[in-house]
Copies of this chain bind each other. A is one copy, B any other.
Amino acid sequence: MEIITTVKNMQTLSGKLHKNRYIGFVPTMGFLHRGHLSLVDRARSMSDIVVVSIFVNPKQFGPSEDIKTYPRDFEHDRRLLEEVECDILFYPDVGDFYPQGYSTNVEVEGFDTTLCGARRHGHMRGVATVCMKLFNIVRPQLAVFGEKDYQQVIMIKKMVSDTNLDIEIVTSPTVREDDGLAVSSRNIYLNNRERKDAAVLYQALLFGKKLIEEGENDAYKVVKAIQNMIEKKTTARIEYIEVVDSQNLKLVERIEGPVLLALAVYFGRTRLIDSIVVIPERFQRR
């Protein structure tokens, strides 16, 4: 595996490679886990060359957020990536990636009114901007994103389509622990009690799914049912539980088509997100 630490060197290499090789790209913030590795596998199966980036992007953290304490372990990441036969690891530093005086932002309208976009000011813009830059530097034909960050995936697809980037965006299902908890770099912050309680998230989402599949079409009632389950866990503090259209992420009151059940919940000081897509049975039949 080749490790590239400057934007310039990455761009020189990708400028050559992308002419006759199909580059599959997995952007990450490092502290890799099985979820990331499943994305690398996916990229591997669809490309000639797999590039993984590790870059903790300051632009997608709010001023009060956890960038300084965001977990990092480069040596561990490097070993994992070698095991899964990643070809190129792009590992730039912040000052090279956003030089002094950096001032360009990419914004996809309509992503700051629901889900994480409504709570994390500037987060979605930060994600769009870093992806645009990474795409221009790595020049992949394909990029793989995890469905766990569902809103992010929908936004990146929209940005790529709107700005005519010639990149196929592929998604890969959320990877879960045995008890259903979505695998996340942030899970290491959970103490034993919080870790145990956090399993409720997926259980509650599955319960909401069941309600919809059994005919419930009132989004408020579904949210309430999920909320009641989560609130039984004493370490849980709900940030949001929302039912949105799974395509455009707009809030839904009556469930009449495919929806995303999505939530963000704190366990202690650790914010976790999860979501599932639900397609009502009566909709499937049509």
What residues make up the interface of A, taking CB atoms closer than 8 Å to B? 7, 11, 15, 19-20, 102-110, 128, 132-133, 136-137, 158-159, 162-166
Contacts and interface: CB of A to CB of B under 8 A. Distances in A.
A11 B166 contact: yes
B104 A164 contact: no
Contact of A109 (B15, B105, B162): B105
7 contacts: A104-B107, A104-B162, A106-B106, A132-B163, A133-B164, A136-B165, A136-B166
B106 A162 contact: no
Contact of A163 (B107, B133, B164, B166): B133
Across the A-B interface, the 6 shortest Cβ-Cβ residue pairs = A104-B162, A103-B109, A136-B164, A19-B19, A137-B164, A104-B108
Given A19-B20, A104-B162, A133-B162, 10 more contacts: A104-B106, A105-B106, A105-B109, A106-B106, A106-B107, A106-B163, A107-B107, A133-B164, A136-B163, A136-B166
A107 B19 CA distance: 29
Contacts of A136: 163-166
A103 B133 contact: no
Contacts of A15: 166
A228 B132 CA distance: 47
A104 B124 CA distance: 12
B19 A162 contact: no
A175 to B, nearest CB: 30
Contacts of A164: 7, 11, 133, 136-137
